[in-house]
Chain A
Amino acid sequence: EPEVTQTPSHQVTQMGQEVILRCVPISNHLYFYWYRQILGQKVEFLVSFYNNEISEKSEIFDDQFSVERPDGSNFTLKIRSTKLEDSAMYFCASRRVGQPQHFGDGTRLSIL
């Protein structure tokens, strides 16, 4: 069964550095999402992406964050200047019209 693939599984970065989290959604899916889960807390929506543009974003998704679908297969989340509080598990998801979202296994981001 096709899967959403996320890389890397664990990223360790110094505070203030830029980080790019990568996702390969399922190939015939049209809607793409990023979520984060701070350790011990609930999953939070960051952003949704459809038709090559952001369709919705949360208050968390400020100017430090950006998303891109550079080549028709990858879907990336960039954090420009990381803070300690960005440490979390980041999940990518994708779906087709009318179908549930499929989640990747997540990238654990640790900011030092």
Chain B
Amino acid sequence: KNEVEQSPQNLTAQEGEFITINCSYSVGISALHWLQQHPGGGIVSLFMLSSGKKKHGRLIATINIQEKHSSLHITASHPRDSAVYICAVRNFGNEKLTFGTGTRLTIIP
């Protein structure tokens, strides 16, 4: 069973700040997902990673397989980035995703 931990649980920052959200897991995985959940509840997939780094616009996701750790970075944060960011992992040979508890991000104008 994979234990997925995220930190921080809550993060409030000023517009324009560089944001980092962390995720660690206990068992080796085949893939890690970063998801965004808005107040209405809908979930959007941001990244799927199995190694290295991915970038999409102002969002960057990195993963260190040896350390079982991933980070999600947001550059030049904006109030519309306010959401819950969730890390989820898939173990080898499984279909299921195991989710972290999420990080609630609030960006203040």
Q: Interface residues, chain A, CB within 8 Å of chain B? A: 31, 33, 35, 37, 41-45, 48, 50, 55-56, 58, 89, 91, 99-106, 108
Q: Chain A contact residues: over half helix, strand or loop, or mixed? A: strand
- Are A101 and B97 touching (Cβ within 8 A)? yes
Q: Chain B contact residues: over half helix, strand or loop, or mixed? A: strand
- Are A42 and B101 touching (Cβ within 8 A)? yes
Q: Which of B10-18, B21-29, B42-50, B62-70 contacts A (4 or more CB under 8 A)?
A: B42-50
- Are A56 and B94 touching (Cβ within 8 A)? yes
Given contacts A43-B86, A105-B42, contact A33 B95 (CB under 8 A): yes
B2 CB → nearest A CB, Å: 11
Give the residues in chain B near A33, CB-CB below 8 Å. 95, 97
Given contacts A42-B99, A44-B99, contact A101 B45 (CB under 8 A): yes
User: Is B58 close to A, CB under 8 A?
Assistant: no
Given contacts A91-B43, A103-B43, A105-B40, contact A42 B102 (CB under 8 A): yes
Interface centre among A50, A100, A104 (most CB of B within 10 A): A100
- Are A43 and B43 touching (Cβ within 8 A)? yes
